[in-house]
Amino acid sequence: MADNEFVNWATRPQLVEDSRWRFPPPSEWPESDLLSIGGDLQPSTVVNAYRRGVFPMEVSGLPGVLGWWSPDPRGIVPLDGLRVTRSMRQSARRYEIRVDTCFARVIRACADPSRENGWITGAFIAAYTRLHELGWAHSVEVFGRDGQLAGGLYGIRVEGLFAGESMFHVKRDASKVALMALVDQMRTNGMTLLDVQWCTDHLASLGAVAIPRKEYLARLAAAAAYSVL
């Protein structure tokens, strides 16, 4: 990837107001991954949740019910632990990487209703698109030589944290190449913590590990310069 393909994320996003919703301190959180239900997807609510180690997602089996989650254990990808195979490196040479040029296309591709276990609703698309407009949500996009979008990912950045939300691909290794590019982007911008929520088998094959919630919150406090403990 050429240097000019990186984006300087040093510019601070637009400030958001304090949320009218409050999470209890971590010492009062339940042992379950689901902390609470309700609330809204206003920018202030979502950003303040990520700052505290919490993210929104609908509750499975309960359409329209908004849940707030903090998995224990939590999945992260150590920036020095991403497993890059020879196949991934070869694929990367076939693609062009862009950052923040077509966020709406990426999130809509991730929200494809034909995907198994899809959870990204129209409300989430609207909320995260607004967060992108405010400078909080970002996308990494992978284009083929034919100029078509081949894959990508999106998530939320809070200081040194990138909270990955979803990724997709329509061509081989495109989502993996997006993840490679994200790690490079984070290093270039001095970021330290890549959150992937749950450590699935697929993510584990790429280097993701599961850490206790308490450890995640400590790493978050260091990465986001925000005390959550």
171 pLDDT more than 70: yes
Q: CA-CA-CA-CA torsion for 37, 163, 219, 35, nearest 10 degrees?
A: 10
Please identify, in words, the CATH class of the domain defined by 74-224.
alpha beta
Q: Are 155 and 137 in contact, with CB atoms under 8 Å apart?
A: yes
User: What percent of the chain has a predicted confidence (pLDDT) above 70?
Assistant: 93
Tell me the two tokens of residue 179.
């993840």
> How many C-beta atoms lie closer than 10 Å to residue 158's C-beta?
21
Q: What is the pLDDT of residue 226?
A: 47
Q: Examine the pLDDT at 91 and tell me if it is beyond 90.
A: no
Mean pLDDT of the chain: 91
Of 11-25, 69-83, 143-157, 198-212, the range with the lowest mean pLDDT is: 11-25
> Where do the domains of the chain lie?
26-69, 74-224
Question: Which pLDDT band holds residue 10 (cuts at 50, 70, 90)?
Answer: low
Over the stretch 97-143, which tens digit does the pLDDT of each residue have? 999 999 999 999 999 987 777 789 999 999 999 999 999 999 999 99
What pLDDT shows up at residue 1?
Answer: 37
- pTM comes to 0.92
pLDDT one-digit tens code per residue, 210-222: 999 999 999 999 9
What is d(CA 196, CA 113) in angstroms, rounded to the nearest whole number? 21
**Whether 107 contacts 125, CB under 8 Å:** yes
